[in-house]
A and B are shown apart, each in its own frame.
Chain A
């Protein structure tokens, strides 16, 4: 397979064409879950535990059933035959006892744990009736610290390479750090929801399904003893994914079960308060790390232990997040020896899963803070320490010596030094440092921070694509991938159109419809542009050669590894501890950008979420395990006023050798080093190297650093 489209001289791949997705959204033709209705539909409301940990003695639904318009109300006995929700990824037998049932029976394990459902003729009546459910819970002590001895400890992930002990014995200096990232998560504007429609032909149509439609439909069918094709996914518009939306949750099975049992369309639209306690949380990890460093500041060994707060159950992601933390903690640096213990612990909080840049936002914060500390202790420039530790391009492909998500971690390509120098040049590192020093002399608290990272993308193992020409001259692409709003239709259409020499607007991309294609992996892990993109390239090439409708499968056992560097300039208000991000720069190498505008959009949005987790967003709990951030007054996502202009340095130095287009994914690198870069910039601003070791760096935290 050669470079496409040599003949026309100009490739559509690399063009910032406008999004195919935008028109229906802009003209009010968006069809999100709540926009969809069927005649005779009824509405489901989940009754949730309001106790963080307790013995569930009983659920009395008599009053609820007597409520106006109530069709049915069930507790766990009704669905006792339905198995717990299995892992979709990174499953371990040790974690299986902690999988979540669709309704809790003997114990409740977090505030928000579903204990019953009420189904009524309208959502108001359903909410009224749900208030009448009497849930008898005998409270137990809530465990809220993953590192506490009371937390359940099902599994510790351990890995190592090299001789870490010897490196520490030989070290010029040992640099240590305790650091932690607070619990936060993706909060898509569209909350979760599902509408299950039982068709007369016995098929159940699921609307509102997202991210992994094939997997979810097949799994729900299996859980409910249906035939595999009996549950069909109808993906509509999806208002944001970020890892959390579209995973298989108890509500998805409950809604489908209810539709089956009642033989009526059943609709559930999650409200925001539910969302903030019921959808996956993420990020809460605390680390103790130490580096064995030589005289030049080169890290010879890294020894790390962390605690991963999994919350009340292990959900579909299994051990994915801590697994990624374990694998990617060393990041872009050589680090010849490494040893890590990642302790997965259960607590009485909302279960955790992946969120944009899972395991990398956390581990990058910790690693980059450690590198900054090395710089301080050896009196080196932070940038210089990174130069001395980066993996050289000659070492590519670089076998990290560990595995993640079932595949060996081999960085496929990269010129990390070049990217760092590009960032350094762009910001005018030396002059910028001087101008910030000048401003500090005049009384301002301003500072610069830099963080580097390796991302991962393009998770296999396969993607199928079907391409055919339509009678009207258009081209249809059918894929088992999904759209979560990221622009995949546009990117896939561009690749297809590039091969076929047609206008990309004539390509229609059909996705998320499980009865149109036999299997599909969906949209996660920055995989679609790589996996679906290459599959469509293959299928379109065959169509171009034969003139016949074509199918292709792209298989791969390896991920691709984009990499990046962030720089942040912040200003600290000495009186309040408030932090303003004045400037944010992201240099990111995605191998080859199909649509640079979309990549920039991904990066800018990713930065917003990174800033949220760094400065604002926190799911906090009171000592009894009551969640305190259950509305947008208390769960603080950044607004446009908190978001700086983001300068994007899109780089294509290192196309992936693992696919014919050189593609790597672009969905997560805007987020990865936000915590690292901003924390470093705050240190610089307040003149306290290494001061910020926990996120979010709230104004109160920063102010307390200034006082001490």
Chain B
């Protein structure tokens, strides 16, 4: 469990990082918090020729609120999302309120253990693209936008296009994930997150995030998002289950009906920690609970 030989560069500017990525292409791997990459290298499951450590680069660890979204810098550690703050347009830094401000800590506490949350980064998790990772599920559910930089250019990738398969994203070898835009979610949204893992801190066997928008006049759901991890190579949205919610007033029966559809909508593969049938079962439980949590009711 010693990594194979690799070269190591630690540029101190984004330009130099992008130069390095441009030069080394798919021989290079970006090192952020190292909480997934380093174990994979130690197992020799990852054998990058060149490690580009972005730990010395300034400007990647900010959180700011712009145009109704929270921009999370790639090197923001998980622990900061347990009590998220954002730099406001006027320059002040304030605790992030609102629905997203409540949701992020709810999710962050499921990310690994404290030492992992103290080193691992938000952007690292997104770029690593584990299909059961909390931040990937959140990004997919909320339609986050990923900001990718390359030498001389920038592009924004929608979450729906970003996650391609297990540990594989739309990022090109020359690109650096620099930040992620998350929608703030207005006060008419209700979001919930529920996860089942074998032990505290383990990757989820199945996790679900839900976000529903309520019509202020009727209290009925006008828009619904259900994202699930642990059932495919990427976090998935469940449009059929989402559709069952629209027009309904949140409540146990409505949630159960959506959860039932969700369980039928996934097509998981089984592994050591859960067969396909069991994961389907868990989708039912997790979706119902996330919806109930979002509605402020016990699951």
Contact = CB atoms under 8 A, between A and B. Distances in A.
B199 A636 contact: yes
B258 to A, nearest CB: 15
A123 B4 CA distance: 11
B1 A616 contact: no
B282 interface: yes
B5 A639 contact: no
A659 interface: no
A624 to B, nearest CB: 15
Contacts of B140: none
B167 interface: no
A704 B43 CA distance: 34
B202 A636 contact: yes
A128 B5 CA distance: 8
A271 B39 CA distance: 13
Interface in A234-279: 271-273
A431 interface: no
17 contacts: A124-B2, A127-B2, A131-B44, A575-B285, A575-B288, A576-B196, A576-B281, A616-B199, A620-B272, A631-B43, A636-B198, A641-B199, A642-B199, A698-B198, A699-B198, A699-B274, A704-B278
Contacts of B93: none
A578 B275 contact: no
B58 interface: no
A628 interface: yes
B203 interface: yes
A79 to B, nearest CB: 25
Q: Which label, helix, strand, loop or mixed, suits the secondary structure of the A interface?
A: loop
Contacts of A575: 281-282, 284-285, 288-289, 299
A703 interface: yes
Q: Which label, helix, strand, loop or mixed, suits the secondary structure of the B interface?
A: loop
B199 A272 contact: no
Nearest to A706: B281
A548 B200 CA distance: 57
A163 B73 CA distance: 77
Interface in B200-250: 200-203, 205
B202 A641 contact: no
Interface string B262-281: 00000000001111001001
Contacts of A128: 4-5
A369 to B, nearest CB: 24
A131 B4 CA distance: 10
Interface in A671-708: 698-700, 703-704, 707
A700 B280 CA distance: 11
Interface string A601-617: 00000000000000010
B39 to A, nearest CB: 8
Quick one: which of A616, A641, A699, A707 has the most chain B CB within 10 A? A699
A639 B201 contact: yes
A272 B1 CA distance: 8
A123 B2 contact: yes
Contact of B203 (A123, A633, A698): A633
A634 interface: yes
A273 B282 CA distance: 30
Quick one: which of B5, B44, B285 has the most chain A CB within 10 A? B285
Contacts of A124: 2-3, 5
B43 A273 contact: yes
A319 to B, nearest CB: 31
B196 A616 contact: no
A638 interface: yes
- Report, nearest first, the 3 A-B pairs whose CB atoms are least far apart: A575-B285, A641-B200, A271-B1
Contacts of B281: 575-576, 703, 707
A639 B196 contact: no
Contacts of B288: 575
Nearest to B197: A578
Interface in B1-27: 1-5
Contacts of B5: 124, 128
For chain A, give the interface size range.
Answer: 20 to 34
Contacts of B289: 575
A265 B196 CA distance: 48
Contacts of B275: 700
A517 interface: no
B134 to A, nearest CB: 16
A576 B199 contact: no
Interface of A: 123-124, 127-128, 131, 271-273, 575-578, 616, 620, 628-629, 631, 633-634, 636, 638-639, 641-642, 698-700, 703-704, 707
Interface of B: 1-5, 39, 43-44, 196, 198-203, 205, 272-275, 278, 281-282, 284-285, 288-289, 299
B199 A638 contact: yes
Contacts of B282: 575-576
Nearest to B275: A700
Contacts of A620: 272
Contacts of A127: 1-2
Contacts of B43: 273, 631
Contacts of B274: 699-700
Contact of A700 (B39, B44, B278): B278
A628 B285 CA distance: 27
A634 B196 contact: no
A19 to B, nearest CB: 26
A639 B288 CA distance: 28
Nearest to B278: A700
B112 to A, nearest CB: 11
A641 B2 contact: no
Quick one: which of A576, A616, A641 has the most chain B CB within 10 A? A576
A77 B86 CA distance: 67
A636 B285 CA distance: 23
Contacts of A628: 272
B259 to A, nearest CB: 10
A636 B273 CA distance: 10
B272 A634 contact: yes
Quick one: which of B201, B281, B289 has the most chain A CB within 10 A? B281
Nearest to B198: A636
A616 B2 contact: no
Contacts of A634: 272-273
Contacts of A698: 198
A707 B281 CA distance: 10
B262 to A, nearest CB: 13
Contacts of B285: 575-576
Contacts of B44: 131
A578 B196 contact: yes
A641 B196 contact: no
B230 to A, nearest CB: 12
Contacts of B39: 631
A707 B285 CA distance: 13
B201 A641 contact: yes
Nearest to A191: B1
Contacts of A577: 278
Nearest to B5: A128
Contacts of A636: 198-199, 202
A642 B278 contact: no
A645 B153 CA distance: 56
Contact of B272 (A616, A629, A639): A629
Given A636-B199, A707-B281, 19 more contacts: A273-B43, A575-B282, A575-B288, A576-B285, A616-B198, A616-B199, A629-B272, A631-B39, A631-B43, A633-B203, A634-B273, A636-B202, A639-B200, A639-B201, A641-B199, A698-B198, A699-B205, A699-B274, A703-B281
B126 to A, nearest CB: 20
Nearest to B3: A124
B196 A633 contact: no
B239 to A, nearest CB: 23
A224 B2 CA distance: 31
Contacts of B205: 699
B158 to A, nearest CB: 30
Contact of B200 (A131, A273, A629, A642): A642
A127 B205 CA distance: 33
Contacts of A272: 1
A121 to B, nearest CB: 13
